[in-house]
């Protein structure tokens, strides 16, 4: 295994731990009139493999925005460890009932009362192209995946 592959593997492992600790995030999209729009989302509990998955309604403003401009930012924090993370990437609508079943969390029932079979439910897949992390060690920024400059 190359040094680069090991570094990416270590970064993904660290991101998985941070995602699990945070539990929720802000997904920021670009509205149809060009404004930034953030909304809270629950983070997946699965291993981070370069993509994040979120539940949404197929007819929501979020999906309309992503169809016009798929560029997104996902941010979250682990307050206990004083870590902040910003992930940049592209999002797409990915209706996959089997994946929805695997990723389902009971906390989502507040928004999707019929579980993963809720009418109009879809998944948003965010392919992460860059990840930055700021930690309490002097506020330095660590690029975890790719370049975010």
Q: Rounded distance, CA 149 to CA 131, Å?
A: 10
Q: Rounded distance, CA 144 to CA 133, Å?
A: 7
For every residue of 81-118, DSSP letters joined together read: TTEEEEEEEEEEE---HHHHHHH--GGGGGT-TTGGG-
Q: What is the pLDDT of residues 70-84, one digit of tens each?
A: 999 999 988 777 888
Q: Rounded distance, CA 11 to CA 17, Å?
A: 10
Q: Rounded distance, CA 14 to CA 10, Å?
A: 6
Residue 67: C-alpha distances to residues 8, 32, 99 (Å): 29, 10, 21
Q: What is the pLDDT of residues 97-148, one digit of tens each?
A: 999 999 999 999 999 999 999 999 999 999 998 888 887 765 555 566 654 4
> Which carries the bigger pLDDT value, residue 129 or residue 38?
38
Fold of 3-145: Pnp Oxidase; Chain A (2.30.110)
pTM: 0.85
């Amino acid at each position: 295994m190359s040094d680069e592959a090991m570094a990416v593997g270590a970064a993904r492992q660290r991101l998985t731990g941070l995602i699990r600790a945070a539990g929720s995030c802000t997904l920021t999209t670009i509205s149809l009139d060009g404004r930034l729009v953030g909304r809270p989302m629950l983070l997946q509990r699965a291993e981070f493999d370069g993509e994040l998955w979120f539940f949404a309604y197929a007819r929501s403003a979020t999906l309309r925005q992503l169809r016009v401009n798929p560029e997104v930012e996902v941010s979250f924090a682990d307050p206990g460890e004083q870590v902040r993370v910003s992930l940049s990437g592209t999002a797409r609508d990915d209706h996959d009932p089997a994946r929805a079943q695997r990723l389902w969390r009971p906390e989502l029932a507040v928004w999707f009362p019929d579980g993963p079979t809720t009418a109009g439910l879809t998944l948003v897949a965010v392919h992460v192209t860059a990840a930055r992390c700021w930690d309490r060690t002097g506020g330095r920024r660590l690029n975890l995946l790719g370049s975010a400059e």
